[in-house]
Amino acid sequence: MSDQFQSPPYVYDGLDPVRERKSIFAEAAEVSPSTLYRYFLTKDLILLDPLVGYDLIASFSLHAVNLPVEEALAKAILEWAKWQDTNAEEILLVRSLIDQNIMPRARVWDLLYQSVQDMNARLAEKLHLPEDDLQVVLPVRLLFLTITFTVAELWRASAGRSSAVAIAEQVMRMFAEHKVLIPRKAPRQCIMKKRPASEDRSCNGRSNCNGESGAKEPQKGIGKSAREWHFDLEGKDKR
């Protein structure tokens, strides 16, 4: 079927979203049109199958039976990447073709959105959490919109010369080693003030609203061994 796709007239007829040319696809697959469309409901799905044909959700579900969720997700990503490497020629060809036509390109995003929704439901079921819980939503977005998207774009930029598996491993390793910058708010800082030992301290040794701390007398209710220790203002311990 890949040889047929490389013929320019054939490619054009197959890509045109307006033309109803079911027989062209059926002829290439050497089956009847009715048989072909039993598996592919539209021409778009036939064209996009090399891009969206791998069932990442099914792969995750299979591995999640015996593995922790994080490992099952990693397994699914690596198997998807291997599938990219195995079908490189066909995937790169289809990508170049749909970039010339807005209809199949829009259909890719529709299918991606549906995959995100399906994965959301599957992961929520596995974690016993609501589907809108951030512990479900964020990993799914990370999986589809960050990791696989990044791997696919870098792999395509290399024209398939780089291994999608190697790229996926590198991306996941960067997350595991905390080398990816995550936006975060600066922690609130409490300024400790030194005060004369003779001066009374508030809050029974705990930090008060002004950030001051440090009574020498321990709180009631602390164990006997803890009461044997006191702390001066320089942080040295005394008995």
Q: Are residues 141 and 218 in the same domain?
A: no
Q: Are residues 169 and 121 in the same domain?
A: yes
Q: Is residue 184 part of a domain?
A: no
Range of the domain at 14: 1-39
Number of domains in the chain: 3
Q: How far apart are CA 40 and CA 52, in angstroms?
A: 12
Q: Is residue 104 part of a domain?
A: yes
88-117 pLDDT, tens per residue?
988 888 888 788 878 778 888 888 898 999
Angstrom CA distances, 15 to 20, 24, 26, 81, 203, stand at 10, 11, 14, 26, 74
Angstrom CA distances, 178 to 151, 170, 171, 175, 231, stand at 18, 12, 11, 5, 37
217-234 pLDDT, tens per residue?
555 544 444 444 444 444
Q: Is residue 138 part of a domain?
A: yes
Q: Are residues 64 and 140 in the same domain?
A: yes
Q: Are residues 166 and 223 in the same domain?
A: no
DSSP bridge partners of 231:
237
Q: Is residue 199 part of a domain?
A: yes
CA angle 101, 102, 108 (to 5 degrees): 105
Q: Is residue 205 part of a domain?
A: yes
Q: Are residues 96 and 17 in the same domain?
A: no
> What is the chain's mean pLDDT, rounded?
75
Q: Are residues 109 and 225 in the same domain?
A: no
Tracing tokens 């950030």 back to the chain, one arrives at: 211
Q: Are residues 94 and 126 in the same domain?
A: yes
Q: Are residues 31 and 140 in the same domain?
A: no
> Is pLDDT above 50 for 132?
yes
Task: Say what the pLDDT of residue 117 is.
Answer: 94
Q: Are residues 154 and 76 in the same domain?
A: yes
Could you give phi then psi for residue 141, rounded to 5 degrees?
-65, -40
Q: Is residue 139 part of a domain?
A: yes
> Is pLDDT above 80 for 73?
yes
In the chain, % of residues over pLDDT 90? 38
Q: Is residue 125 part of a domain?
A: yes
Q: Are residues 59 and 134 in the same domain?
A: yes
Q: Are residues 161 and 214 in the same domain?
A: no
Q: Are residues 154 and 64 in the same domain?
A: yes
Q: Is residue 195 part of a domain?
A: yes
